[in-house]
């Protein structure tokens, strides 16, 4: 499960990588992105890729209380089509979440130590995600939100990482 990640690059530097068109909002490097924070994600709009700021933690459009997003930061790929909150989004409301690493925690004694998992060359990659639009019943507030699609950990991540085990490629 992804509970924290980083995007330590300049977003203008990824414009070519993901064929982002138009002016890019100013997003600076971020080293510890947490749930409930606003994050730039890539969506497909009018036959082009663009960055859109969204809150991490999916808020279903039918809900009354947007705080439910705190519990919907990840969606398991194995059950996407079974969960009503995700099922309808799979076909039309997919997104990419640019990152260059994420944190997993290793138990050490009674505590946990964060392990930074990244590609060997430390280049940007993207998490698959789903997004949604929510508007409060009174119509006063609106919110774009997303969830990151996850899957079962592979052997490298599931076991206690060794030094440099975060180098995935």
Q: Which residues are catalytic?
A: 2, 104
Q: What is the token pair recorded at 92? A: 């039309």
SS (H, E, C) 29-70: CEEEECCCCEEEEEEEECCEEEEEEEEECCCCCCCCCHHHHH
Contacts of 158 (CB under 8 A, 6+ apart): 152
Give bridge partners of residue 44 from the DSSP assignment: 49
């Amino acid at each position: 499960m992804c509970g924290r990640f980083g995007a330590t690059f300049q977003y203008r530097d990824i414009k070519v990588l993901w064929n982002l068109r138009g002016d890019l909002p100013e997003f600076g490097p971020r080293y510890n992105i947490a749930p409930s924070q606003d994050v730039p994600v890539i969506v497909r709009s009018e036959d082009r890729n663009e960055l859109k700021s969204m809150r991490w933690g999916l808020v279903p459009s039918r809900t009354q209380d947007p705080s439910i997003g705190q519990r919907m930061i990840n969606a398991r790929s194995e059950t996407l089509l079974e969960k009503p909150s995700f099922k309808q989004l799979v076909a039309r409301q997919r997104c990419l979440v640019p990152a260059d690493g994420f944190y997993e925690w290793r138990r050490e004694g009674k505590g946990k130590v964060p392990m930074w998992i990244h590609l060997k060359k430390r280049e940007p990659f993207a998490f698959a995600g789903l997004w949604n639009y929510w508007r409060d019943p009174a119509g006063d507030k609106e919110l774009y939100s997303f969830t990151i699609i996850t899957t079962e950990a592979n052997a490298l991540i599931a076991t206690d990482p060794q030094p440099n085990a975060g180098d995935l490629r």
